[in-house]
Amino acid sequence: MTEYCIYEKNNYKTVVFKFIILLFSLLIFSKFSFAESVKVFEFSKTELSQLKVRKVRGADNKTVYSTGSNENGNYLKAVAENAGSGLGKEIKIDLNKTPFINITWKIEQDLSGINEKTKKGHDFAARVFAVKKTGATPLSNRAINYVFSSNHEIGENWPSPYTKKSIDNVLSTTKENLNKWVTVKANVKEDFKKFHDLNVDELDGLAIMSDTDNSKLTSVAFYQNIYFSKD
């Protein structure tokens, strides 16, 4: 009887020990996973009401943003009818740990036929700005403008016709993917070095904008799962 009790006691200690090891491993994995990925937007109604809205100077209307969800989670819908306004979020991103931006997006109605490299045609149905503060005013900031182009090829890039401090970089095109969800990735740290000759360790913010204020057209786009990752 005594031997049986000792066996049961030892067996219980073994089970408890294994459980503690498993729990500890899960906690470590959870912290590791969090450090390897930084989600930027929740795309919830609450978040939408809290994001900073910036209307493009001279635009007649604001872009209409709304939230929804599908089997892959929440998304943001953007409808721009002769409109131009963006949604911004100040967030610190350590580009040494998580240099890659990941974007899932879709354009339902594009802006084909415009010249996106000119002021008159500088509109995008979907774009995401990665912003680095380099001075005391917003005008001194540097940005990479990741765009879903309606007229150019993936990999094309050029300075914004409004400021050389912002570079338009095509990650998707409706020439290949109109009304289809597309997931893209870019190394933001390398892009700042390539386009601005800046060694950026930390990003200061991200902004989303769908605009048609120059072309006076209408676009419909969706954004989902925007986050930064290790690779």
User: Can you give the pLDDT at residue 33?
Assistant: 40
With a cut of 70, list the residues of the chain below it in pLDDT: 1-35, 138
What is the structure's pLDDT at 6? 41
Contact assessment for residue 220 and residue 108, using Cβ atoms and an 8 Å cutoff:
yes
Instruction: Decide: helix, strand or coil at residue 101.
Output: strand
Report pLDDT for 35. 53
Q: Would you tell me how many other CB atoms lie within 10 Å of the CB of residue 118?
A: 10
pLDDT at 15: 40
Query: What pLDDT score does 140 carry?
Result: 78
- Calculate the average pLDDT of the chain: 88
Q: Quick check: helix, strand or coil at residue 20?
A: helix
Rounded Cα distance, 82 and 219, in Å: 9
What is the predicted pLDDT for the residue at 57? Answer: 85
Q: What does the pLDDT read at residue 199?
A: 97
73-94: b or e for each residue (b if 16 or more CB lie within 10 Å)?
Answer: ebbbbbbbebbbbbbbbeeebe
- List phi, psi (to 5°) of 154: -60, 135
Separation between Cα atoms, residue 113 and residue 126, nearest integer Å: 16
DSSP letter at 50? H
Q: How many helices (H) and strands (E) does the chain have?
A: 3, 13
pLDDT digit string (tens) for 112-166?
999 999 999 999 999 999 999 987 776 779 999 999 999 999 999 999 999 999 9
Confidence (pLDDT) at 137? 72
Q: Which residues contact 70 (CB under 8 A, 6 or more apart)?
A: none
Residue 169 is predicted with a pLDDT of 98
